[in-house]
Amino acid sequence: MDFAVGIDIGGQTSKLGVVDRDGNVLNGTVIRSDTYGTDSNAFISALADAVKKCIADAGVSGKVCGIGVGAPNGNYYTGQILNAPNLAWAAGQTVPIAGELSAGLGGLPVTLTNDANAAAVGEMTYGVARGMRDFIMITLGTGVGSGIVIDGNVVYGHDGFAGELGHVNVVHHGGRLCGCGQHGCLETYCSATGVARTARERLAASVAPSLLRDVKDVTSKDVYEAARQGDRLAIDIFKYTGTVMGRALAGFVAFSAPEAIVLFGGLARAREFIYEPVVKSLNRYVMPVWKDKVKVLFSSLKESDAAILGASALAW
């Protein structure tokens, strides 16, 4: 059994591919996730067909040991996606995807976890966290996710939902409203959308000149492009983002004393602008015993492959 299948389910598309033991993705492919309305069965059926085709095209029929799936709000213990607002067919409802996908694939074992945990497993198996037994993966995308590895194992907790560090409160008074219903969550400051919110606030709060003043509906990508052109306001936005993140990381370090924090996802591309503020703020707020001792790393995996690799690693 030399192959596994990795599946990364996202709001718009789902990526899948056959993965060999060396971490090569064979026949990576993409299907839509958003054309099935609220019909989870239709999506799972299309996904099963795509997996079958992918296995057949790779010429590895009968050689696949299992399927790993990463999905928003995916629960490792139950194999269910529980109320994932970004997936129309799993919004406000529970979808037993592991069991149903397995049934659609003639009983091949299917392991589910949330997307950030899958990324952590991928990083530990194929990326910069290889050989590490204690690290924290922070995924910086539209939201902020996390996968926590302690003594070589992903932390699932009592109910399978551990590792929601994007929803730790980082601003106590007057914090931004989060999609989860709380105020001041890390995600509202340190995600791509958080960066865009900071940009809007900064632009409104000052009259400082900035390339961003010419942009309609500023996105984090716009901020990145402006920063690369030396725009002071844009650079300050990343500085603020990194400072908030570093302070939050200091608290996470006090919890599990990791060897490293690994940053991953779209916003991690702005590495040149957030690395220094993150590290400075982390070491400013962390207990003396950990000052200058915890590594801050960026994922080394190609982003398009990382999600598939991470999910597939669950199956080994």
**Is position 148 an interface residue for a copy of itself (rule: CB under 8 A)?**
yes
Instruction: Looking at residues 188 to 247 of the shown chain, list those that interact with a copy of itself (rule: CB under 8 A).
Output: 247
Rg (alpha carbons) of the chain, rounded to whole number: 20
Q: Determine the straight-line distance between the first and last CA of the chain, rounded to whole angstroms.
A: 9
**In whole angstroms, how close is the CB of 177 to a copy of itself at the nearest point?**
14
**What is the C-alpha separation between 174 and 263, in angstroms, rounded?**
27
Query: What is the DSSP-derived secondary structure letter of residue 259?
Result: S
Residue from 46, 50, 65, 150 that binds a copy of itself (CB under 8 A)? Answer: 150
Applying the rule CB under 8 A, the residues between 75 and 114 that interact with a copy of itself are 82
Minimum distance from residue 42 beta carbon to a copy of itself (Å): 27
By CB under 8 A, is residue 130 in contact with a copy of itself?
no
Residue 191 gets which letter from DSSP?
A: S
Task: Please choose, from the candidates 296, 141, 127, the residue with its C-alpha nearest in 3D space to the C-alpha of residue 219.
Answer: 141
Nearest to 64, CA basis, from 15, 128, 6: 6
Residue 141 CB neighbour total at 10 angstroms: 22
Q: Does 22 bind a copy of itself (CB under 8 A)?
A: no
Name the region of 160 (left: φ>0; alpha: ψ -120 to 50; beta: rest). left
* Site membership for a copy of itself, residue 45 (CB under 8 A): no
For residue 15, state whether it binds a copy of itself (rule: CB under 8 A): no
Binding of residue 177 to a copy of itself (CB under 8 A): no
Query: Residues near 251 by Cβ (< 8 Å), separated by ≥ 6?
Result: 168, 285
Residue 156 binds a copy of itself (CB under 8 A): yes
Q: How many residues bind a copy of itself (CB under 8 A)?
A: 42
Q: Are 238 and 277 in contact (CB under 8 A)?
A: yes
Nearest distance, CB of residue 105 and a copy of itself, angstroms: 29
Q: Rule CB under 8 A: is residue 158 a binding residue for a copy of itself? A: yes
> Is there binding between residue 254 and a copy of itself (CB under 8 A)?
yes
By the criterion CB under 8 A, which residues form the site for a copy of itself? 82, 133-134, 148, 150-151, 153, 155-165, 167-169, 171-172, 180-182, 247, 250-252, 254-259, 285, 287-290, 293
